[in-house]
Amino acid sequence: MARVHFRETMAQLTGVARPFGQNELIVTKTDLKGHITYANDVFIRLAGYPEDQILGAPHCLIRHPHMPHGVFRLLWETLEAGREIFAFVVNRSANGDHYWVLAHVTPSFNASGKITGYHSNRRAVDDNIRKNVIEPLYASMRNAEAKYSNPKDKAEAGISLLKTILQQKETTYDEFVFSLCK
Ligand SMILES: Cc1cc2nc3c(=O)[nH]c(=O)nc-3n(C[C@H](O)[C@H](O)[C@H](O)COP(=O)(O)O)c2cc1C
């Protein structure tokens, strides 16, 4: 089967949230460039692509256009520095449905301490936190990013706004996210 190009389906959004269980874990592993090397059954079901189109695909296969660029910039900077990160993420299924997750993403190391890939475990997000905290925050980041046309500038604008908001709250990104984890 021909591989579906991940940008082709970007425009189609149904507005339908795909349900999944509170106890279900959505798992993927990637290589150093973010190409998917492993996906569990829950991921495959929610993503809605056949497994052979998921394995080897870049993780932005499931990127949702409502995600600010700044969040992914922070994710990659943190991972490449060898640290774990927790992030709220909305993902897009193949048919344009979406699902919100709280992702815990970590580097994997070999015996000599070198990063060999990355690993993400995701679980369901509390609806109130999504609606009242994360969606408004991400909407502000997207607004700040919309003033720029290239993804690098967008990411910088998004991160810069996020840092300002965190400074106003006198908190760090990690403290902020942990305060929302239930
Ligand atoms: C282990 C791992 C898991 C990831 N999980 C997701 C994910 O669930 N959704 C997503 O949109 N991007 C995820 N990413 C980030 C993507 O690699 C990519 O940076 C993001 O989709 C933004 O794509 P873009 O740079 O083309 O805008 C993950 C990256 C890694 C390393």
Residues in CB range of 36: below 8 A, 6 or more apart: 28, 29, 30, 54, 55, 56, 57, 58, 59, 61
Task: Check pocket membership of 158 for ligand 1, CB cut-off 6 A.
Answer: no
Query: What is the band of 12 on the pLDDT scale with cuts at 50, 70, 90?
Result: confident
* pTM (2 d.p.): 0.94
CATH of domain 6-125: 3.30.450.20
Say yes or no: CB of residue 54 within 6 Å of ligand 1.
Answer: no
Ligand 1 site, residue 63, Cβ cutoff 6 A: yes
Backbone CA torsion sign across 40, 78, 104, 6: negative
Closest CA to 100 of 74, 71, 78: 71
- Among 18, 131, 30, 25, CA closest to 80: 30
The answer to whether the CB of 60 is under 6 A from ligand 1 is: yes
For the purposes of burial, counting CB atoms within 10 Å of the CB of 105, is it exposed (0-12), middle (13-18) or buried (19 or more)?
buried
CA dihedral 82, 87, 90, 94 (to 10 degrees): 20
Q: State the closest ligand 1 atom to the C-alpha of 72, by its place in the atom list counted from 1.
A: 19
Beta bridge partners of residue 89, listed in sequence order: 101
**pLDDT for 115-171, tens place per residue?**
999 999 999 999 999 999 999 999 999 999 999 999 999 999 999 999 999 999 999
Query: How many CB atoms are closer than 10 A to CB 11?
Result: 8
28 in ligand 1 pocket by Cβ < 6 Å? yes
How many angstroms does the Cα of residue 84 sit away from the middle of ligand 1? 14
- Supply the pLDDT for residue 4: 47
Q: So where are the chain's domains?
A: 6-125
Exposure string for 24-52, b = 16+ CB within 10 A, e = fewer: bbbebebeeebebeebeebbbebbbbeee
Probe target for ligand 1 pocket from 18, 27, 75, 78, with the most ligand atoms within 8 Å of CB: 75
Query: Which ligand 1 atom is at minimum distance from the Cα of 63?
Result: 11
Q: Is the alpha carbon torsion for 91, 165, 73, 41 positive or negative?
A: negative
- Residue 112's φ and ψ, nearest 5 degrees, are -90, 10
Query: Would you put residue 48 in left (φ > 0), alpha (ψ -120 to 50) or beta?
Result: left
pLDDT in tens, 43-97: 999 999 999 999 999 999 999 999 999 999 999 999 999 999 999 999 999 999 9
